[in-house]
Each structure stands twice: as structure tokens, then as C-alpha cells.
Amino acid sequence: MSLVEVKNLRKIFKDKKLGEIVAVNDISFSFEGGEVFGLLGPNGAGKTTLLRMLSTILSPSGGSAIIGGYDIRENPLEVRSQIGFLTGNTGLYGRLTAYEMLWYIGSLYGMKKEKLKRRCEEVSELLDMKDFLHRKCNHLSTGQKQRVSIGRTIIHDPPVLFLDEPTLGLDVMTSRTIISFIRKAREEGKGILLSTHEMNLVEKLADHISLVHMGKVIASGTLEELQTKTECEYLDDVFLSLIEQEKINEIALYTQNNEFNLS
């Protein structure tokens, strides 16, 4: 069995005004430790919803997923100890220091004092956080905040990492730190699910790519496979050529709906 195995995962939101919205529509994939799995798609494609389901914050409307041997529906707590989820927004407690933040999250995972202390040292070393370790998160720069966020994601040393837009809004330097961190984690044998709308990040890192659009996987494979399939050299073009048709459909549908509302 793979480290992460997702089967026909579905999520339907019931919106009071818009009715049912299918945010994730029958998505299946799997990956192993030591692999970076790239989930690429525009904003609103359903990537975050998918990650939220996999990290058991949202319950799926259909399908299943097994992470590190645990089912997300049956053993949500065990699943959570298998994963580190770097959420889209930094999500730090501004009035805690970086160190307190790491300590708090680590202890929530049930880590013992001695072990946690050692792990905090390790993580701050790894992410180069020594300079600001005892400063309150509110006073940190965006890049520093992102490093603290990653730190708290890996504090319990999980075998699986879900990274949601890890380099969003960061400068080149910090981005590079994060990219090298992802590479290091892959070398350590962690399974990484990288969700982003930034093509070059996926191009640089991902062993396997799934293109997500409107809740569905529209193409899947390695970078070379996708290039041959669409006869495009760059991922941007691959992506555009694949979703172009769908986008036209979407716009058409949207206009149609609006006209319907107006009448």
C-alpha cells in the first residue's frame, strides 16, 4: 500500500444561495515516501478543500483516503499525527514567540519535554530560525513567519507533508530556503503533497504532477509525460492548453447563470 492513497474523494458544499457546489469531484491519486506530488491548479480549483479533507478538518462527502495506513474517516486523530499541514495563510499566534509556537504545537501532538526540546533545536537549525526564535510572531517578517509555519508543520516529524502554497508572497531568498527544505525532506524519505498555482515551483520539485481544475483532475503524469501529451514545452502552456476549453465553458456558464438571475 502507498504512503498516501486517495480514492474517489468528493466534497459537496451546500450553499444556501447557490445550491450544491461540487468542490472536489472524484479525485484519486497516490504517492510514496521520498516523492513530491504536485497538485497544480488555479485559485478555486478545489486544492485547499482536498487538503482539508486529507487532513481531516473537513469530512468528505464521498470516497476515501488512507494516509500512513490510517483511514481519514475512521482514525482522524492517527491521520493527524502522520501529517504536517502547512496551511495557505501563515496561521501563527502573534503574541507567542516563535519558540513558544513550536513548543505549543509540539506538545499538542503529545511530545515529551526532552524530545520536544531536542526537536525544537533541530527544526530551528534546519530552517535557520536562530535569530528570531524568541521574538513574538507579530514582529516577524513574512519570510520569517513562513519559516515558523513550516517549523510548526514538521515539529512532530511526520512522514507526510501537505504544503499549501508554501512560497506564496515570499521573496526569492526565502523561497529558496523553502525549496531547499522541500528537497531535503524528500531526501529524508518524506512523502510531500505540494499544492500550488505556481508552475515553476512544480516544475522544479514535483516527481509527479496532477492538474486540477474545477474540482477534477484533468491531467496527470510526470512533467515529460505531460509535455509529450500536449506537445508543449513549458508547463504554463501545458496547463493553458488543457484548461482553455474548460475555461471557455466556465465563462459561458457563468454568464448564463448571471443572465438567469437578472431576468
Partner 1 sequence: MKLPFTLRIMNLIFRKELKDTLRDRNILISQFLLPLVLYPLVVIITSTLLTGQIKRAEESISRVYVVNGHLSPILSQIIADTPDFKEITTDDPKRTLEEGNMDLIIFIPKDYTEDPMCDETFQIKFNYNSTSELSLMAKSRIDDLLQKYNDLLVQNRLKSRGLSYEMMRPLKLSGFTVSSKTREAGSMIGGFLPFLIILFTITAGFLPALDVIVGEKERGTLETLLVSRITKCDIVIGKFLAVWTTALLSTFLHLISSTLTFATFAQEVLEKLPISFTWTAFLTVIFLIIPLTGFVCAVIMAVTMIAKSYKEGSNYLSAMTLLMFMPLSIVFSPSLTANYLTSMVPIFNISILFRDILKGDFNPGYTLVTFLTTFLYISMILWVALKLFEQEDILFRETVDVSMPEFLSKKKISRKGRFPSSYEVFVLICISFILFFFVGTRLQFMGFIGGVYASQLLLIFTPAILFLYLWNYDIREILRIRGFSIATLGIIIFLALSGMIFTLQITAFQNVLFPFPSAENILGKLVGILKERNGIIDFLIKFTMIALLPPICEEILFRGVLQSTLEKYQKKGHAIVITAVIFGIFHMNPYRFIPTMIIGLYLGYLAYKTRSIFPGMIVHAINNGLIYLVVYFSLETNPHMKWIVEEGAFLPWYVFVPGILVFFFSIYLLKRFYKDNTVIS
Least spacing, CB of residue 188 vs partner 1, in Å: 20
HEC string of 91-153 equals CCCCCCEHHHHHHHHHHHCCCCHHHHHHHHHHHHHHCCCHHHCCCEHHHCCHHHHHHHHHHHH
Least spacing, CB of residue 87 vs partner 1, in Å: 4
Among residues 104 and 234, whose Cβ is nearest to partner 1?
Answer: 104
Q: How far apart are CA 11 and CA 106, in angstroms?
A: 30
Check if the beta carbon of residue 58 is closer than 8 Å to that of residue 52.
yes
Among residues 55 and 196, whose Cβ is nearest to partner 1?
Answer: 55
Least spacing, CB of residue 216 vs partner 1, in Å: 21
Backbone φ and ψ for 232, nearest 5 degrees, come out as -120, 150
CB-side neighbour CA atoms (13 Å) of 68 = 19
Backbone φ and ψ for 167, nearest 5 degrees, come out as -110, 15
Least spacing, CB of residue 89 vs partner 1, in Å: 4
Q: How far apart are CA 241 and CA 33, in angstroms?
A: 31
Check if the beta carbon of residue 84 is closer than 8 Å to that of residue 158.
yes
Among residues 18 and 173, whose Cβ is nearest to partner 1?
Answer: 18
DSSP assignment of 175-235:
HHHHHHHHHHHHHTT-EEEEEES-HHHHHHH-SEEEEEETTEEEEEE-HHHHHHHHT-SSH
Among residues 28 and 61, whose Cβ is nearest to partner 1?
Answer: 61
Among residues 107 and 220, whose Cβ is nearest to partner 1?
Answer: 107
Least spacing, CB of residue 50 vs partner 1, in Å: 14
Cell 507533508, located at residue: 161
Q: How far apart are CA 7 and CA 63, in angstroms?
A: 6
Check if the beta carbon of residue 92 is closer than 8 Å to that of residue 148.
yes
Among residues 54 and 242, whose Cβ is nearest to partner 1?
Answer: 54
Q: What is the contact surface with partner 1 in residues (CB under 8 A)?
A: 13-14, 16, 52, 55-59, 77, 80-81, 83, 85, 87-96, 100, 104-105, 107-110, 152, 156, 262-263
Least spacing, CB of residue 164 vs partner 1, in Å: 9
Check if the beta carbon of residue 151 is closer than 8 Å to that of residue 98.
yes
Least spacing, CB of residue 73 vs partner 1, in Å: 14
Least spacing, CB of residue 251 vs partner 1, in Å: 21
Among residues 170 and 219, whose Cβ is nearest to partner 1?
Answer: 170
Among residues 137 and 209, whose Cβ is nearest to partner 1?
Answer: 137
